Amino acid sequence: MTGWYRRPDVLMVLSSAPTYVATREALKVVDPQDLTPLRYLGAAVVLGLVLLVRRQRLTLRGRDIPRMLVAGVLGYAGFGLLLNLGQTTVPAGTTSLLLNISPVFAFVLGHLMLRERTSSLGYWGMLLAVAGVVVITLGDSVAVGFNGDALYIVAAALLLSAFLIVQQPLLARVPPLEVVFWGSLIGGVATLPTARFAVAPAEFTWTVWLALAVLVVVCTVVAYGFWNVSLSRTSVAEGGSLLYVVPVLSLLLGWILLGEVPSIASLLGGAAALAGVVLLSRATASIAPEKELEPAP
């Protein structure tokens, strides 16, 4: 049996879970518009050094540049900026729950563009997932302050679903780690015009420095890398259910490290959303097993 440390899906889950906690901590002193280029340009530098040390040649060809540009804008620049804007008030665990509805958007896009089908159970799953999002967004605001910023997270989930469709063909021709390098570089550069350049390192506490390091190295370089390795393989379904563990770990980390106690609305709405996504994924997989819907990190 293959060890868990050789499973890219398991490693992706473990490295993705701290993303939203690290983002919340960094946003205490860094503006959302500044954090996005800081995260992705930092990751591009780290990945550039890794590729240099490994003497790995860049293989991106001219025909793939337009697709890579779109993928970088969708899955890095757009996603990162919306995530940071939303997390100024939305707790870490709730953010992870909301992002896990991306398979619903992915199915809708696939249905419109590729005529993908699902069963009646899948459509009920979609309705359940949407209902869960509504409960989270409009639910009790007493515990940790939910408001309209949750819609930024929902929009980020939509961009990630489109990103999945755009990026997938690249993984057949470009190494997964190189795709992360180009995506980080494009995403970081694309968000520079929105930056306020108000970063003041003198105000950083050790926890903020640690959060930035985790966000750049673990949650971007490592998590995106293992995510792309998983997506580049045809047997992703073997461990796909593990991806639904990310919100649970994020809720626990947010509770333990940031003191963000989940409200009843977030727990009920999150459970409904995840249940709906699972129903949709299973119903769709039963019709087209080779097309596995997969939530994004």
Q: What is the DSSP string of 64-123?
A: GHHHHHHHHIIIIIIHHHHHHHHTTTS-HHHHHHHHTTHHHHHHHHHHHHH-----HHHH
Distance between CA atoms of residues 243 and 17, nearest Å: 10
**4 within some domain:** no
Q: Is residue 164 part of a domain?
A: yes
Query: What are the φ/ψ torsions at residue 63 (nearest 5 degrees)?
Result: -70, -25
The count of domains in the chain is: 1
Per-residue pLDDT, 113: 62
Between 138 and 144, name the one with better pLDDT: 138
d(CA 253, CA 5): 21
pLDDT value of position 22? 93
- Mean pLDDT to the nearest integer, 10-31: 88
Give the pLDDT of residue 183.
96
pLDDT at 9 over 90: no
- The reply to whether 224 falls in a domain is yes
Measured between alpha carbons, how far is residue 119 from residues 243, 275, 282, 287 in Å? 22, 16, 10, 8
Q: Looking at residue 118, what is its pLDDT? A: 65
DSSP letter at 30 equals: S
Residue 123 lies inside a defined structural domain of this protein: yes
* Token pair in block for residue 277: 């996504």
Instruction: Supply the pLDDT for residue 283.
Output: 64
Q: Classify residue 105: in a domain, yes or no.
A: yes
* DSSP 8-state assignment for residue 275: H
Residue pLDDT, tens place only, 187-233: 999 999 999 988 888 889 999 999 999 999 999 999 999 888 877 76
Task: State the pTM of this model.
Answer: 0.80
**Whole domain around residue 84: which residue ranges?**
10-287
pLDDT the model gives residue 137:
65
Distance CA 153, CA 80 (A): 10
For residue range 230-286, list pLDDT tens digits in order.
777 643 334 444 555 666 667 777 777 777 777 777 777 777 777 777 776 666 655
Tell whether 293 is covered by a domain.
no
38 in a structural domain:
yes
